[in-house]
């Protein structure tokens, strides 16, 4: 889960991922994600917290948008519980439109969650 380059494998909104700094998942590593949500744009995500193998926090800020993504992995029986929490907010005067962004992002997040479940389930079966 900490290898951000794999996001493209399960999130249909992520078209490509390229590591631009760092050599692993540690704090300070940055990734350019080409994302498509209506339009295509590149967002630079930086790892701001990393506690292997349980937690990673990634932050992206553009002129108009801020995204804080936290992934946690907790042992559970013979497997794990993965929690992915993404908080997107509009910046500046656009902040008043956050309720609309949440509706759109919920649909995008639901598709990504389905993809993540599919990929994780296939890896669990393969083992």
Number of domains in the chain: 1
Query: How far is 97 from 74, CA to CA, in rounded Å?
Result: 34
Query: What does the pLDDT average to over 38-57?
Result: 93
Instruction: Locate 117 and state its tokens.
Output: 């479940």
Q: Could you tell me the CATH number of the domain that includes residue 18?
A: 3.30.530.20
Calpha distance 2→35 (Å, rounded): 18
Q: Which residue has the higher pLDDT, 22 or 87?
A: 22
Domain extent at residue 29: 4-126
Q: Mean pLDDT for the chain?
A: 84
Q: Is 7 in contact with 19 (CB distance < 8 Å)?
A: no
The vertex-77 CA angle with 75 and 82, nearest 5°, equals: 40
Tell how many helices (H) and how many strands (E) occur in the chain: 2, 6
Q: How confident is the model at residue 124 (pLDDT cuts 50, 70, 90)?
A: low
Asked, as a colleague might, if the bond just before 53 is cis with ω within 30 of 0, I would say: yes
Instruction: Give me the phi and psi of 25, to 5 degrees please.
Output: -85, 5
For residue 44, the model assigns a pLDDT of 96
Could you report the per-residue pLDDT of 82-115, keeping only the tens digit for each? 888 888 887 776 666 666 656 566 666 677 778 8
């Amino acid at each position: 889960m900490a290898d951000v380059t794999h996001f493209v494998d399960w999130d249909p909104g992520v078209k490509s991922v390229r590591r631009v700094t760092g050599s692993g998942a540690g704090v300070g590593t940055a990734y350019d994600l080409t994302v498509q949500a209506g339009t295509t744009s590149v967002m630079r995500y930086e790892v701001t917290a990393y506690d292997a193998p349980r937690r990673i926090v990634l932050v992206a800020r553009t002129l108009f948008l801020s995204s804080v993504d936290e992934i946690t992995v907790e042992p559970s029986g013979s497997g794990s519980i993965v929690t992915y929490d993404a908080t997107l907010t509009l910046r500046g005067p656009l902040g008043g439109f956050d309720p609309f962004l949440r509706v759109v992002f919920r649909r995008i997040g639901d598709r990504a969650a389905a993809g993540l479940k599919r990929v994780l389930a296939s890896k669990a079966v393969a083992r």
